Chains A and B, each alone.
Chain A
Amino acid sequence: MIILLVPSLLLLFLVFGIPFFRYIWLSLHSFSVSTSLIPINNNGANWIRLINDERFWQDVIQTARFAILSVSLEIIIALCIALLLNQSWKGKGLIRAITLLPWALPTTIMALGWRWIFNNPYGPIEQFLSLVNLSELNILSSPYLTWIATVVADVWKTTPFVALILLAGLQTIPNDLYEALYIEGGNARDALLKITIPLLKPYLFISMIFRFSQAFGVFDLIQVMTGGGPAGSTESLALYAYLNAMRFLDFGYSSTIVIGSFIILVVICITSWIILKQTIYLVKQ
């Protein structure tokens, strides 16, 4: 019986497993144009470089900040959308399809669209800002504001996905629970805080983990929308790894960044898992 699973496992190993080991091996070697593209063992020089690389740590902070803000906003907005869609009316399917649309479009297409929307001075947002005399904001040229624009674009694109998962969670909550609560004299707020959110926790958790790890690897959106700029203020770890490999042709260091990012992601996931477990434990007490 397990033989039937072999092709799947083989393909998964080929595409997920081998690269992983290859990255670890490469991260221990100099492998770039300066070594004439021949891997040379460099006794961990890549790792020392990574630890002292300010741009890497800057990108860690930028990536984490992007991921945390987008995922938090997505969860909150998605919960509202899910609550809204969890009622029955005519034409629900069409509205669901329209809501889903941003998620279904290629990231590069909508990243290009958002770049135009935030374009200075021709995009509608800057045009509007200049009408209300805020034209100096220059969102996409400001190192302080551009990342917010990328968050807006990411939230727009991925909220439908989260909303759908939460909607599925809402539909597993039996209606009699709410009826029992209303009979006990609870109001809509109690229903949300005492029933909906506690019972939705597994779904919130799944979408949070999934979205966070995806947002931590953000690439398409940044590359197309800002190219990592201005002044590297939106560069993500994946983009940095990509630039090292494709522009600087330094494959050894690029691999080090990949493995480094992966370690940081795992550390973040494990710590937040422990913190979440602790808080759930405290709440139960």
Chain B
Amino acid sequence: MTLILRKISRKFGRRIILNNLNLEVREGEILALLGPSGCGKSTTLRIIAGLERPDTGEILINGANMTHIPPVDRKIGMVFQNYALFPHLSVGENLSLGLNIRGVPNKQIQVRVSSILGLMKLDDHVNKLPAELSGGQRQRVALARALLRDPSIYLLDEPMSNLDAQLREDLRPELRSLITSENKPVVYVTHDQNEAMALANRIAILNNGVIEQIDTPQDIYKNPKTYFVASFIGSPKINTVNQSNEILSAVRPEDIYFSEEGLNCKVLAREWHGKNQIIILDCSKGILRMICDVDTKIPTNTKVSWDKDKVYRFNINTGKRSILTT
């Protein structure tokens, strides 16, 4: 099973939301759509689900053109950001509503609902209303509802954004195993790069309605194709160290180190992050951030340097990675 988007464009009035977007998600693959708010990632998801129509382009699921098919017939399992559980229905009713509507026999509904409740460890909560559940439980109900549909693809719209940080980490492996167990394409929208890195097989970075880069998490970080990707991924942000002849040079914080020779700077502040520390430096190029081991001492004569091969160069006008090696 695969999902293919071909030349999708969408405008709201004069504003271009998506511009000529191409995307392919293979079976068993989690593709994260990552980008700042307003980049078009939610619109993409809604177009795949059929909740919105693209102005041009087509959506293929398993090779079949779904562009003009209503959402219900696309066999979508969707988890909404706020879960969209029906607040007046109990957990059990939330799960069985769709099956009821589709005319699945009652006995079968019971079997399927109770097996999914067991799988999601929600057995004790069948008769509770969504408001009586914790955030994590609500998220599981929403996921259970998507799984019950036996969909061809999964669409997840920031499913973790309403959970606290600890819970997010706890739930990640569970979520990954659940959605990949069936070997179906998964599209995962998020604005959290850590989550995208942790969960996805590939990440598509969206900016202003255009995909800047699609790659594995490793490549997105190691080989950013545009300045936007380089600056969006990685925390603290990549440092701009030079700007000349339409070329912008940038170095990641972890590639900067103290040395005898190099750029003179002044320490502005230190932030402690467990095993690491972030040192904020002021130099002639502006503010630099370096990340280093917590034991690193700041020398009296603060000079920093970096290796030539760690420098990323971008064309200032196009934002594209430049292959020049000077």
Chains A and B touch each other in the complex, with CB atoms below 8 Å apart: no
Binding site for B on A (CB under 8 A): none
